[in-house]
Structure 1
Amino acid sequence: MIPSLTGELTGTHGRIATRTWPNLEADHLVLLAHGYGEHVGRYEHVAQVLVEHGAEVWALDHTGHGLSDGDRAVIPSFEDVVTDLHQLADEAVDARPDLPIALVGHSMGGLIAARYAQRYPAELDALVLSAPVLGRWAAVEHLLSLEEVPDDPLDVTTLSRDPAVGQAYSADELVWHGKFQRPMLEALQVALETVNAGPVLGDLPTLWLHGGADQLVPIEDTRTGIAHIRGTLLEELTYPGARHEVFNETNKDEVLDDVTDFLDRALGLTEPDDDDTEVEPQD
């Protein structure tokens, strides 16, 4: 296992915990953006695969998450979170100049990644969106309509078909196990509206991954957001039967192979074989 290095930066809302998986022989950089209520430590296996495939990986715990400062599981402004991530990207590029850079975002991290790509299109060479919260999230709309947000625990069986994933999630002390806070819901809604009104992704190579049985972030809701931002180089992969966390699914090896294959092609890291077939962009 490749050891990671921990660090910190001063973000827009206090100290931000960072983690880097170094690779002195890297031919590209990957930024990771995690989802709501979790932390980058849950992406250890993802980072390991990426490093073994030639990446150096940089990530952080968003404000209010994991080991970073802030009220638990509250993001006051997604624009500020994107700014924090951009600061991390600047540090990565300063440390490893002249390497192409990709951004991988899961769930809420997919929303952050999409907004990052809208704000800094010239600074990314590839984008991967895993079950991204885009377009609309009916759960947020419903919860905001209520006078009081209910304290309903997450059904961990919706994360993955692998029971061990839900068990580890429940036991993880850095994961937020409480209810949604109204300021968080309001910030999510503003961010969704901002991305929907923002620019398209142009010719940025983008891979959208989604579980066909995702109950937390239904694929049809996300599809409305993809329709707003999609550029000319969008690829879509849907995994039948897979639930929300495709990087933690029973077919995670297939999913991560798809990601590294996409990065190879998008970043020009390998020459395509004559027999290779491209995934056609889907409407």
Structure 2
Amino acid sequence: MVQLQHGFAEYSERFVDQYSRLVPRLLESGIEVWAMDLLGHGRSPGRRGVVDVRRAVEDHVTVRRDMLARSLPLLAIGHSLGGLVTAGSITADETGVSGTVLLAPALPPHLPTPARALLGLATRLLPAAPAPLPAAPSAELTRRPDVVRQAQQDALMAHVRLPLLVATSSLDVAAAVWSGASRWQAPCLIAHGTADTSTDPRASPRLAGLLTAPGSSYLPVQGGRHELLHDDDAEMVFGHVRAFVGRHLGLGPSRMRRL
């Protein structure tokens, strides 16, 4: 099984006909895929784009516990904000996880206490207000203009700036990840494009440097943008994901060929 988590402003179904058709290719190889739309995203209820990432981590752990009742090998994949949710979930409870893939994960650094307190106060007053952060243009998410146009016209996308609640709760989850990643027992593959303007590509090698589980690795994608699985190097990145998934879910050669 694979537990798949989408990123900010998008939704799980994008991984069906976009993102290198990740979901169909997993299904075709006999891998069961579970994916949830974050609150405020896709087909989930809530104000568009507004989600408490701490709550998302709790929901992610709950979904995985339901998956583990199937008694099958399980691997977690998260993209962007979904990478942070996945990392936070693994930090909170790694039970039953055979491996983790983080694609362009959002990994904000520690914020000084006074600034964090001020941000927290603003969030309590106006949780849906835009965070005081530069917004990456949608045209920079990928080098493929067709994918950019499709996202801009997609009614299920949340076309909003990053809300304060997402920003502040991301800081809390990231703090737990930075302090707990060295204790992860399952291997992790982290991939990040060096030209990503949505999440910090410098944070991924720092996180990779904390990992001690054998088989963990960091894949820098030179010139890669944020949405790696439908950027110019999508098939190369998918090849690394496929090899990692096959290795850590114990897929035989015939199922690897289908994947």
TM range (shorter): 0.7 to 0.9
Of residues 45, 49, 57, the one that matches 1:73 is 49
- Identify, as 1 or 2, the structure richer in helix: 2
Q: Are 1:245 and 2:227 matched, yes or no?
A: yes
Query: Is 1:132 matched with 2:105?
Result: yes
Aligned length: 237
Matched, 1:255 2:231: no
Unaligned 5+ runs, structure 1: 1-28, 272-283
Q: CA RMSD in A?
A: 2.7
5 Å-filtered alignment, 1:1-283, equals 29-44=1-16, 45-76=21-52, 78-94=53-69, 97-136=70-109, 149=131, 154-229=136-211, 231-270=213-252
- Give the drift of 1:187: 1.1
Following superposition, which runs of at least 4 residues in structure 1 exceed 4 angstroms of deviation?
A: 147-154
For 1:218-258, what per-residue CA distance to the aligned partner results, in whole angstroms no more than 9, with x for missing partners? Answer: 31133333334553431121222211111111222222222
* Secondary structure, aligned partner of 2:95: helix
Question: Structure 2: which 5+ runs fail to align?
Answer: 123-129, 254-259
CA contact (8 A) 2:181 2:207 kept: no
Paired with 2:131 and 2:67, the residues of 1 have a C-alpha distance of: 39
Q: Distance in 2 between matches of 1:54 and 1:160?
A: 29
Higher RCO structure, 1 or 2 (CA under 8 Å, sep 6+): 2
Is contact 1:130–1:210 with CA below 8 Å preserved after alignment? yes
Residue 201 of structure 1 deviates from its aligned partner by 4.2
Secondary structure in 2 matching 1:90 = helix
What is the percent sequence identity of the aligned residues? 28
Relative to total residues, which structure has the larger strand share, 1 or 2? 1
Report the CA distance shift for 1:137/1:60 in structure 2 as closer, same or farther (over 3 A): farther
TM-score by length of 1: 0.75
Q: Is the 8 A contact 2:110 2:175 kept in 1?
A: no
